[in-house]
């Protein structure tokens, strides 16, 4: 085994450890924070919500004003939502200690793998 091969094995080990840490972090990220059920609903007029163009009903989003919006996008299929599938109001990593509507949307929506859009 030469030096280059050893380096490659180290790199592979590093990638594996990083990937494992990332997966466990992602799993923790997906969990609702403690006490989430009692969080208040996010107000569309909240300054951060307004800045991110959050609405309770994604069907009201104007695609002309929000070109990154595509029909089918909503909080329930966003990577940032946590809590329980099927709940009408769920925690979101972007709005700590608030609940967002499952049918809501904001401009930082990112597809949650494994969900339909
Ligand atoms: S980040 Fe995702 S889940 Fe949170 S409000 Fe925006 S679209 Fe909804």
- Name the residue of 83, 88, 100 whose CB sits within 8 Å of the most ligand 1 atoms, as the mutation to test its pocket: 100
Give pLDDT tens digits for 61-102: 999 999 999 999 999 999 999 999 999 999 999 999 999 999
54 with 105: CB under 8 angstroms?
Answer: yes
Which residues line the pocket of ligand 1, CB cutoff 6 A? 54, 75, 78, 80-81, 92, 94, 100, 104-106, 108-109
Average pLDDT, the chain: 82
From the CA of 102, how far away is ligand 1's center (Å)? Answer: 9
Would you state the pLDDT for residue 30? Answer: 60
**Whether the Cβ atoms of residue 82 and residue 92 lie closer than 8 Å to each other:** yes
3-state SS, residue 56 = coil
Q: How far apart are CA 112 and CA 39, in angstroms?
A: 22
* Residues 82, 101 share a domain: yes
| 41 and 11 together in one domain | no
Say if residue 48 is in the same domain as residue 26. Answer: no
pTM: 0.75
Total domains in the fold of the chain: 2
8 & 51 share domain: no
Q: Please report the beta strands in 16-94, taking only residues with DSSP state E, as ranges in sequence order.
A: 89-92
Where residue 100 sits, what CATH number does that domain have? 4.10.490.10
């Amino acid at each position: 085994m030469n030096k280059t091969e050893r380096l490659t094995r180290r790199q592979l080990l590093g990638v594996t450890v990083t990937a494992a840490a990332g997966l466990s972090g992602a799993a923790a990220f997906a969990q609702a924070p403690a006490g989430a059920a009692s969080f208040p609903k996010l107000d569309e007029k909240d300054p951060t919500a307004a800045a991110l163009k959050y609405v309770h009903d994604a069907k009201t989003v104007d695609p002309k004003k929000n070109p990154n919006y595509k029909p089918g996008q909503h909080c329930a299929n966003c990577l940032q939502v946590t809590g329980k599938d099927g709940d009408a109001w769920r925690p979101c990593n972007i709005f700590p200690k608030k609940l967002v509507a499952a049918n809501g949307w904001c401009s930082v929506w990112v597809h949650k793998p494994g969900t339909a859009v």
